């Protein structure tokens, strides 16, 4: 299986462009990518005996998402004093307690005053939890700061940046390979390729005056296949001889015992599904699972099937990966979604986005009849080729029920073992520790419990408890020669929420209001009071949404209006002068209680009193 | 292991009452329970050749929840013509698209005009998806209609009814056993005990003039243990000789291949956990998993541990189950939650509600420091003894992270095999079909895809496709001698949502408003217009919630006010007379667009114009 073949003949230009009309401009975007200058040899400068590196994880240590850390060299006598390297700038998706929020990005408050000391931003791979914060964060840090990543990583960053031009589109992109060496003074940086479910993923090796620090990025170890890329164990074994000071390692799957599955097993299962499909096969997956997409394309070709790819992000990603040689596609097997009916059903494979039941993804549009060309027909088999992200279960269940109703068969990741993830499991993590033999271990990338379970793995690998550092977001670790210490220093690491154009302007109070509005709606009272007589003019206006169905609640509204009139007029007749704040508070409380008594619901009551 | 021992000596009265003060009154409630009169022998009357039974599932066939069906005998010449039997009246929990909704109950619109013909309501077991609609539905159908269930089922119904006294507390409760025979004319009814994760579960056998119909309720088959009750296979084998016409069978786990685990395996794992616990053991589970709770109590006694039970529903359920002989507790091992510190940690087991991360359950209160006596201490082991219900993953993850942070260890259902459910899996379903040998199969209780997968099992068991009936909620099936036919008739089966005191008054429009409010909040504009001059008096009032943080949005509000003034005054100066509806629509659209342009958010805009 070819996963990387730079000399592959280019397919006819604009192959995918036919249906989307948007692709191919990626080549323009990539024009700005420079090859990074690789150093001949890395030479670590001497540091003073008190030199240290502050390791500051601002995100990713209490969640899966918004991964970002920075490393700051502290050595007042040195010309490198204060220099900073940033690793990853990811986003996190909101949970159900954050209605209306688009996503969450890392908090860079502590970094902003020092932004001129940032020498480089290194991106380990192109998943959103590692790149998603770039459009918002980079303009604030300084768009000219060099950003490093492999070709595919940079291409996906560049593509995404287009969607955020209003935030300042410019980035200083520098392409590295697994073997690039970067000289940033106190930080002499190398990389190692890692296996993950997106090609072009790397880990980072930082040679510094205080010792060697390693950041794995996301990784797995697949000893039986290179489909998902190869974790360069040989490089790591060499590091094992060099007395590595600190290993910062991916904890995403630290809950899982054993070894991660090999892509070979997935390939076999996928091959059986594609080979045996008696009708159309519709495969839903993530646009970023490029290794998986490549496998499917190869197998489809082997069994003489035709493949229609639909979904803008999937098309673009495949286009990019092919352009860069990570994917090989025989153009003869590609067909348009509009043309699938021209082929026998059992010859057709449709590759689409939407295995999580996302509202606007292609699979959902097919299932709900909103797709221009494709609809489910009896005999179709639909494969959900990725595990379900918590929170999406009900949408996926809805999709599944609808598919069965329309006569399709469904194969999900639970029914088959096609759900190998991209992350090392416990025995892989142990193997990595035993290979690198670090003095200290800092689990990163995962919820707190994952980090603790990773720490347990470290102890099983023979590390002493005090050599394992479990930090929180924002908690600073100090790395000195021969020691890593968690400090009490905490930098701001609370959520920065993106909502439309607003970044960080949605605070707790706004979210609380949204939750309250969602639960019982709103009840606005408008009373116009004649300042001469103190009487409410006519009948108070009431506007309510999300509380009760107004047309069926006339009696309730009638009584509420009477109550409003009574409360207001009681005040105007007994208070001189009238304390309107008191009147409004009274309206809020008494009308709120009245509505609760009648309905056992607590809408947000907003009283407006207008004196005329 | 004793699971049922009616002669067990009563523990000292009020044992649990000490901390809750609420238990023990269940005995008062049970005073009203009558023993059902069992018929000596069931005699099925003759029906005319055209006699039929309408099987009407009003809920539970497109979801896991709100199970309810009724069977109506149609034979115009017969004195039993029109007689109806209802089976189960459950609730369903709302999903995240239904903010503020408490739960969903079955739609009884089609049953109301015929309510006087209801001869009996039969409840198969005491889980909420089978009993939860009773407090709302029974007063409407007629509280005097006899309701049948086993002792435990009725006790839990009676207890729950107390919480709904405002809806009419009275029920006509009639206790059955597995061997009770009920004579309802055209419906001659027997029961068979089933294994499930709550004791006292039964399936229903209906001997009728058109043939034998079987409703399994929820069931599993556990051939190795009676801990969860026994599915009376012998009775079913006898039915296998009687040419059963229709089997209506539980599809909850029809997605799962193989056989359901035996409670024996769970018991072994639980025994190892309790035996080996070096510190306190805190076990979170459902209050209704009485079989599991019983096991834990027995094992704790075996290893000389002390058990503190906390959580009102759990205490009450154990109290009820013990009162009825389903659970045996040695009073010597029970301690108060307030006294756990008096015992060595490794001697203490705490049994609590809340394994789903529910906000107000005991486990959450312990973890968040809101519990009066208990807090997590280093060395505690917390066991989540039930699988996570979709939608609860994030809450459970929050709990888990917090527990690790506080130094506890966590064992969840995934780490161990302690998650045997209460439902038959594919091979169990096949075994049931092969045992009963029905002419027709109607999968019930589950999402549409589960029913279809159950249908596949039926075909694997040798049934012809046309003998398997997959119905929707509300779709009427007609059962005649030798045939079951799905008709096109549909009775109302849409959601009836309970929200506070309101039943069915929250409609789509209210939910849509709530979702919109949750996403971007509300923006209320109040403009007071001088009818003489057409000018807006002063500055328009703006009230906004859940949209932006107002204190930091002064400029936005300033511009919005200017826009409001401009729109209103343009109209008052150019239109004669002023069309206020037009002005309000204009305000809504233009201010909405303005806010979207500035923020990319779309709050609900509510304009109020007051002419003075």
Distance CA B201, CA B153 (A): 8
Chain A partners within 8 Å of B507 (Cβ) = 549
pLDDT tens sequence across B182-197: 999 999 999 999 999 8
Nearest-CB residue to B510 (from A99, A514, A548): A548
Distance CA B27, CA B23 (A): 9
Chain A partners within 8 Å of B100 (Cβ) = 518-521, 546, 601
Best residue of A136, A404, A556 to probe chain B, by most B CBs closer than 10 Å: A404
Length of chain A (residues) = 612
- Tell me the average pLDDT across A543-553: 87
Nearest Cα residue to B245 out of B428, B44, B424, B59: B44
Distance CA A456, CA A439 (A): 16
Chain A partners within 8 Å of B416 (Cβ) = none
CB–CB contact A604 B505 (8 Å)? no
Can you say how many angstroms the Cα of residue B446 is from the centroid of all Cα atoms in its chain? 12
What three-state secondary structure class fits B54?
A: strand
pLDDT of A8: 27
Hey, do A263-412 and A507-611 end up sharing a CATH topology, with the first three levels equal? no
Distance from the B594 Cα atom to the nearest Cα atom in chain A, whole angstroms: 13
Helices (H) and strands (E) in chain A, counts: 16, 27
With a pLDDT cut of 90, the percent of chain B lying above it is 72
A522 within 8 A of A516, measured Cβ to Cβ: no
E strands along A370-458, which residues? 381-384, 409-411, 440-444
Question: Average pLDDT, whole number, for chain B?
Answer: 90
Nearest CA in chain B to A602: B500
Nearest Cα residue to B399 out of B356, B428, B447, B434: B356
Nearest-CB residue to A514 (from B390, B397, B518): B518
DSSP annotation string for B79-123: TTTT-EEEE----B---TTSTT--EEE---TTTGGGGGGEEEEE-
Comparing A381 with A97, which gets the higher pLDDT? A381
Question: Average pLDDT, whole number, for chain A?
Answer: 90
What is the widest separation between alpha-carbon atoms in chain A?
A: 92
Distance from the A96 Cα atom to the nearest Cα atom in chain B, whole angstroms: 8
Nearest-CB residue to B522 (from A401, A414, A522): A522
Is the pLDDT at A520 greater than 50? The verdict is yes
- Tell me the average pLDDT across B305-331: 91
Nearest-CB residue to A99 (from B393, B518, B608): B518
CB–CB contact B397 A100 (8 Å)? no
What three-state secondary structure class fits A565?
A: helix
Distance CA B77, CA B57 (A): 25
Nearest CA in chain A to B416: A257
- Tell me the average pLDDT across B29-55: 93
B75 within 8 A of B210, measured Cβ to Cβ: no
pLDDT tens sequence across A457-479: 999 999 999 999 999 999 999 99
CB–CB contact A397 B447 (8 Å)? yes
Strand A146-149 to strand A348-353: parallel, antiparallel, or no bridges (unpaired)?
unpaired
Distance CA A23, CA B236 (A): 63
Strand A172-175 to strand A146-149: parallel, antiparallel, or no bridges (unpaired)?
parallel
Using alpha carbons, list the distances in angstroms from residue B381 to A333, B407, B527: 56, 9, 61
| Number of A–B residue contacts, CB under 8 Å | 190
Is the pLDDT at A265 greater than 90? The verdict is no
Distance from the B190 Cα atom to the nearest Cα atom in chain A, whole angstroms: 34
Tokens of B120: 């009996």
Nearest CA in chain A to B471: A405
Distance CA A58, CA A105 (A): 10
A509 within 8 A of B553, measured Cβ to Cβ: no
Nearest Cα residue to A544 out of A610, A611, A612, A602: A602
Distance from the B408 Cα atom to the nearest Cα atom in chain A, whole angstroms: 10
Backbone angles phi, psi at B306, to 5 degrees: -105, 140
E strands along A354-466, which residues? 381-384, 409-411, 440-444
Best residue of A518, A519, A609 to probe chain B, by most B CBs closer than 10 Å: A518
Distance from the A226 Cα atom to the nearest Cα atom in chain B, whole angstroms: 30
Tokens of A29: 């975007």
CB–CB contact B393 A397 (8 Å)? no
pLDDT of B4: 30
What letter does residue B612 receive in the DSSP assignment? -
Tokens of A410: 């469904």
Nearest-CB residue to B501 (from A500, A546, A599): A599
DSSP annotation string for B493-562: ---EEEETTEES---HHHHHHHHHHHHH-EEEEEEEE-TTT-PBPSS-EEEEESSS-GGG-HHHHHHHHH
CB–CB contact A522 B499 (8 Å)? no
Nearest Cα residue to A430 out of A178, A249, A218: A249
Dihedral sign for Cα atoms in the order B118, B124, B126, B132: negative
- By CB atoms closer than 10 A (0-12, 13-18, 19+), residue A549 is middle
Chain A partners within 8 Å of B530 (Cβ) = none
pLDDT tens sequence across B222-272: 988 887 789 999 999 999 999 999 999 999 999 999 998 888 888 888 899
Nearest Cα residue to A220 out of A240, A248, A250: A250
Distance from the B340 Cα atom to the nearest Cα atom in chain A, whole angstroms: 26
Determine how many CB atoms are found less than 10 A away from the CB of residue A585. Answer: 12
State the pLDDT confidence band at A1, using cuts at 50, 70 and 90. Answer: very low
- Tell me the average pLDDT across A194-205: 94
Nearest CA in chain B to A542: B608
CB–CB contact A100 B500 (8 Å)? no
Is the pLDDT at A122 greater than 60? The verdict is yes
- Tell me the average pLDDT across B106-133: 97
Length of chain B (residues) = 612
- By CB atoms closer than 10 A (0-12, 13-18, 19+), residue A51 is buried
The answer as to CATH 3.10.20.580 being correct for domain B507-611 is yes
Please state whether A75 falls in left (phi above 0), alpha (psi between -120 and 50) or beta. Answer: beta
pLDDT tens sequence across A27-37: 777 888 999 99
CB–CB contact A505 B99 (8 Å)? no
Distance CA B304, CA B275 (A): 9
A242 within 8 A of A284, measured Cβ to Cβ: no
- What is the pTM for the complete model shown? 0.88
Strand B381-384 to strand A440-444: parallel, antiparallel, or no bridges (unpaired)?
unpaired
Is the pLDDT at B490 greater than 60? The verdict is yes
Helix (H) or strand (E) holding A202: strand A202-208
pLDDT of A420: 58
With a pLDDT cut of 90, the percent of chain A lying above it is 72
Chain A partners within 8 Å of B501 (Cβ) = 598-600
Determine how many CB atoms are found less than 10 A away from the CB of residue A62. Answer: 21
- Tell me the average pLDDT across A532-541: 91
CB–CB contact B543 A608 (8 Å)? yes
ipTM of this model? Answer: 0.84
Nearest CA in chain B to A515: B518
pLDDT of B310: 94
Distance CA A288, CA A201 (A): 12
CB–CB contact A506 B448 (8 Å)? no
Is the pLDDT at A297 greater than 70? The verdict is yes
B363 within 8 A of B354, measured Cβ to Cβ: yes
Best residue of A403, A505, A521, A532 to probe chain B, by most B CBs closer than 10 Å: A521
Chain B partners within 8 Å of A528 (Cβ) = 610, 612
pLDDT of B16: 36
Comparing B36-45, B84-93, B99-108, B412-421, which segment has the lowest mean pLDDT? B412-421
Distance CA A272, CA A268 (A): 6
CB–CB contact A403 B543 (8 Å)? no
Best residue of B517, B551, B594 to probe chain A, by most A CBs closer than 10 Å: B517
CB–CB contact A521 B100 (8 Å)? yes
pLDDT tens sequence across A203-216: 999 999 999 999 99
Nearest Cα residue to B155 out of B311, B284, B291, B316: B316
Nearest CA in chain B to A95: B394
Using alpha carbons, list the distances in angstroms from residue B175 to B37, B155, B181, B206: 9, 10, 12, 18
pLDDT of B96: 76
Distance CA B503, CA B464 (A): 42
CB–CB contact B400 A513 (8 Å)? no
Chain A partners within 8 Å of B448 (Cβ) = 401, 404-405
Chain B partners within 8 Å of A612 (Cβ) = 528, 610, 612
Half-sphere exposure of A295 (CA within 13 A, CB side): 28
pLDDT of B414: 64
CB–CB contact A608 B541 (8 Å)? yes
Distance from the A562 Cα atom to the nearest Cα atom in chain B, whole angstroms: 19
- Spans of all domains in chain B: 32-259+421-499, 263-412, 507-611
Is the pLDDT at B20 greater than 60? The verdict is no
A534 within 8 A of A572, measured Cβ to Cβ: yes
pLDDT of A25: 62
Peptide bond into B188 cis (omega under 30): no
Chain A partners within 8 Å of B553 (Cβ) = 505
pLDDT of B28: 75
Is the pLDDT at B346 greater than 90? The verdict is yes
Strand B146-149 to strand B118-122: parallel, antiparallel, or no bridges (unpaired)?
parallel
Dihedral sign for Cα atoms in the order A491, A495, A498, A504: negative
State the pLDDT confidence band at B72, using cuts at 50, 70 and 90. Answer: very high
Chain B partners within 8 Å of A552 (Cβ) = 505
Sequence-distant (6+) residues with CB within 8 A of B292 are B197, B266, B270, B285, B385
Half-sphere exposure of B222 (CA within 13 A, CB side): 25
Is the pLDDT at B2 greater than 70? The verdict is no
CB–CB contact A393 B390 (8 Å)? yes
A506 within 8 A of A563, measured Cβ to Cβ: no
Chain B partners within 8 Å of A593 (Cβ) = none
pLDDT of B359: 81
Q: Which residues of B466-481 are buried (b: 16+ CB within 10 A; e: fewer)?
A: ebbbbbebbbbbbbbe
What class does CATH assign to B32-259+421-499?
Answer: alpha beta
Distance from the A69 Cα atom to the nearest Cα atom in chain B, whole angstroms: 21
Distance CA A43, CA A462 (A): 32
Distance from the B86 Cα atom to the nearest Cα atom in chain A, whole angstroms: 27
What three-state secondary structure class fits B21?
A: coil
Per CATH, the number for B263-412 is 3.40.50.10710
pLDDT tens sequence across B597-606: 999 999 999 9
CB–CB contact B447 A401 (8 Å)? yes
Backbone angles phi, psi at B524, to 5 degrees: -100, 130
Chain B partners within 8 Å of A518 (Cβ) = 99-100, 514-515, 517-518
Backbone angles phi, psi at A53, to 5 degrees: -120, 125
- Tell me the average pLDDT across A50-55: 97
Sequence-distant (6+) residues with CB within 8 A of A113 are none
pLDDT tens sequence across A133-182: 999 999 999 999 999 999 999 999 999 998 888 888 789 999 999 999 99
Distance CA B43, CA B21 (A): 49
């Amino acid at each position: 299986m070819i996963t990387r073949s730079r000399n592959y003949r280019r397919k006819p230009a604009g192959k995918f462009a036919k249906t989307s009309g948007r692709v191919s401009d990626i080549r323009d975007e990539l024009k700005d990518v420079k090859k990074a200058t690789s150093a001949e040899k890395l030479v670590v400068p001497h540091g003073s005996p008190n030199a240290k590196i502050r390791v500051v994880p601002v995100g990713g240590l209490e969640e899966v998402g918004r991964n970002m850390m920075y490393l700051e060299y502290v050595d007042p006598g040195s010309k490198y004093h204060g220099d900073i390297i940033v690793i990853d700038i990811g986003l996190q998706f909101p949970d159900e307690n954050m209605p209306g929020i688009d996503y969450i990005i890392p908090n860079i408050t502590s970094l902003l005053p020092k932004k001129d000391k940032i020498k480089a931003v290194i991106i380990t791979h192109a998943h959103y939890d590692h790149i998603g914060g770039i459009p918002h964060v980079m303009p604030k840090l300084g768009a000219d700061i060099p950003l490093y990543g492999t070709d595919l990583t940079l291409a996906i960053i560049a593509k995404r940046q287009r969607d955020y031009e209003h935030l300042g589109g410019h980035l200083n992109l520098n392409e590295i390979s697994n073997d690039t060496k970067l000289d940033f003074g106190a930080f002499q940086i190398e990389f190692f390729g890692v296996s993950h479910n997106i090609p072009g993923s790397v880990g980072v090796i930082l040679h510094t005056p205080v010792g060697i620090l390693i950041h794995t990025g996301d990784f797995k170890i697949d000893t039986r296949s290179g489909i998902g890329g190869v974790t360069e164990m040989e490089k790591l074994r060499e590091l094992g001889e060099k007395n590595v000071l600190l290993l910062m390692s991916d904890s995403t799957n630290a809950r899982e015992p054993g070894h991660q599955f090999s892509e070979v097993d997935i390939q076999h299962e996928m091959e059986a599904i594609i080979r045996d499909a008696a009708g159309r096969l519709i495969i839903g997956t993530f646009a970023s699972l490029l290794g998986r997409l490549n496998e499917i394309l190869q197998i489809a070709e082997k069994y003489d099937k035709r493949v229609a790819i639909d979904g803008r992000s999937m098309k673009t990603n495949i286009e990019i990966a092919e352009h860069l040689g990570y994917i090989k596609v025989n153009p003869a097997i590609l067909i348009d979604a509009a043309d699938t009916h021209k082929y026998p059903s059992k010859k057709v494979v449709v590759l689409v986005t939407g295995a999580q039941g996302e509202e606007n993804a292609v699979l959902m549009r097919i299932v709900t009849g909103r797709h221009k060309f494709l609809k489910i027909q009896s005999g179709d088999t639909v494969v959900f080729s990725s595990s379900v992200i918590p929170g999406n279960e009900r949408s996926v269940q809805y999709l599944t029920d609808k598919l069965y109703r329309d006569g399709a068969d469904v194969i999900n990741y639970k029914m088959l073992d096609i759900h190998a993830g991209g992350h090392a499991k416990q025995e892989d993590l142990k193997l990595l520790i035993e290979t690198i033999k670090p003095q200290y271990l800092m689990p990163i990338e995962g919820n707190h419990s994952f980090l603790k379970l990773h720490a347990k793995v470290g102890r099983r690998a023979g590390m002493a408890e005090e050599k394992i550092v479990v930090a929180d977001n924002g908690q600073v670790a100090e790395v000195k020669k021969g020691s890593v210490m968690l400090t009490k220093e905490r930098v701001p690491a609370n959520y920065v929420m993106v909502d439309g154009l607003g970044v960080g302007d949605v605070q707790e109070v706004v979210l609380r209001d949204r939750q309250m509005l969602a639960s019982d709606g709103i009840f606005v009272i408008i009373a116009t009071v004649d300042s001469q007589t103190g009487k409410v003019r006519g009948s108070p206006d009431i506007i309510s949404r999300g509380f009760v169905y107004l047309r069926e609640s006339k009696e309730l509204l009638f009584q509420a209006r009477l109550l409003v009139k009574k409360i207001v007029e009681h005040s105007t007749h007994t208070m001189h002068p009238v304390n309107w704040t008191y009147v409004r508070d009274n309206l809020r409380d008494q009308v709120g209680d009245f509505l609760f008594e009648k309905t056992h619901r607590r809408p947000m009551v907003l009283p407006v009193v207008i004196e005329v």
